[in-house]
Amino acid sequence: MTQIVLPGIIVGSLGLVYGLILAIASKKFHVEVDPKIEKIADSLPGVNCGACGFPGCFGYAEGIVNKGLAINLCAPGGADTVKRIADIMGIEATAKEKKIAVILCQSGGYENTLLRYDYNGIATCKAAVLLSNGPNYCNFGCVFQNDCVTSCKFGAFDIDKNGMRIIIPEKCTGCGACEKACPRNLIKVLPISKQVHILCSSHDKGPEAKRRCGSNTACINCGLCVKKCPVDAITMNNDLAEIDYNKCISCGLCASICPTKAIFDKLDGKRKKAYILEEKCVGCTICAKKCPVNAITGELKQLHKVNTELCVGCGICLQKCPVKAIQWR
């Protein structure tokens, strides 16, 4: 009996003594941690997604307090979190615009992808693209092993009947995890206010791109959108049209003219039309000159009219009118 009890007592009392020493030491050598750090860490979402550049939410909280980092780096938290942090830190809230992930490829389903061979390897996109440049015919397209879906911590991806990934806008926080996960760089995190996107990433030459694309929606670098864009936001970069989102006004003209429907306009058919208020219009002709589709007509110093059939609702005239005589209707 003593053989069991004695060691128990001795090791137990050793532990007790050490515990007491540590307890006293922790009181004596207590280091005050800034309470702000804990408060901020509490108000962050706590998903440790890494969108802010820190490995975890606590690291970012420390960064805000100790290094004075910007408080709007948390993508999943959004405007609410920024406001709470601003309250804790006692500074003005400067919320960033919410961003959302967009998949820049319309292929990648069971029925709309042309395959070179059946891929039965490791079920990740990174592995699939390594095997003779991916199973699909297009060298730039989606290989549909769903790396983006597994990378998402918010369950913002849905997969439809055809096996296509759909981003659920309400759930997407714009953290950019999928952007990093995609080995073909098909996903971009873009401001949510931008509604028109070129959903193709193929740098192949026109006919080649179209031949390889399973959904026939490849950018064939015809350059129509470049010519049509009223704000010169589209450039042809290495056989692929690209939108400069700093300039883009989401007017949708490029989408309406694209021969392969590579450009997708979320607002298509939902746009409002411009309407000129009779009592305010001074007949300066500025709107008529600026209209990219010549939908506004009128003589100098006379009331101008909008041809609602031609109007695409780009909103340029609203901005340009010096007397604010144009409204959405």
Partner 1 sequence: MGNIFTLAISAIFINNFVLTRFLGLCPYIGVSKKLDQALGMGMAVIFVMSMASTITWMIHNYLLIPFDLVYLQTIAFILTIATLVQFVEMVIQKMAPSLYKSLGVFLPLITTNCAVLGVSIININESLTFIESILHGIFAGIGFTVVLIIMAGLRERLDKSPVPESMKDLPISFILAGCMALAFLGFAGFNI
Residues that bind partner 1 (CB under 8 A): 6-7, 10-11, 14-15, 18, 21-22, 25-26, 29-31
In the complex with partner 1, the residue whose CB is nearer, 11 or 166, is 11
CA geometry: angle at 11 spanning 8 and 17, to 5°?
Answer: 130
Measure CA of the first residue to CA of the last residue in the chain; give whole Å: 93
Separation CA 59–CA 134 (nearest Å): 38
Nearest to 120, CA basis, from 108, 112, 128: 128
Taking the complex as a whole, the smallest distance from the CB of residue 29 to partner 1 amounts, in Å, to 4
Residue 51 Cβ vs partner 1, minimum distance, rounded to whole Å: 24
CB of 243 vs partner 1, minimal distance in Å? 37
Q: Of 29 and 120, which has the nearer Cβ to partner 1?
A: 29
Kindly provide the b/e burial profile for residues 276-289, where b requires at least 16 CB atoms within 10 angstroms of the residue's own CB. Answer: beeeebeebbbbbe
Kindly tell me which of 19 and 259 has the beta carbon lying closer to partner 1: 19
Q: Alpha carbon of 312 to those of 13, 26, 197, 317: distances in Å?
A: 83, 70, 17, 11
Report helix, strand or coil for 43. helix
Please name the helix (run of DSSP H) or strand (run of DSSP E) that holds residue 130, with its range, or none.
Answer: helix 125-130
Nearer to partner 1 by C-beta: 1 or 31?
Answer: 31
Minimum CB distance to partner 1, residue 17 (Å)? 9
Q: How far is the CB of 172 from partner 1 (least distance, A)?
A: 35
Rounded-to-integer distance, Cα 136 and Cα 145, Å: 12
How many Å is the Cα radius of gyration of the chain? 29
| Count of Cβ atoms closer than 10 Å to residue 49 Cβ | 20
Smallest distance from partner 1 to CB 58, Å? 15
Q: Find how far residue 289's CA is from the centre of its chain.
A: 34
Whichever of 32 and 309 has its CB closer to partner 1, that residue is 32
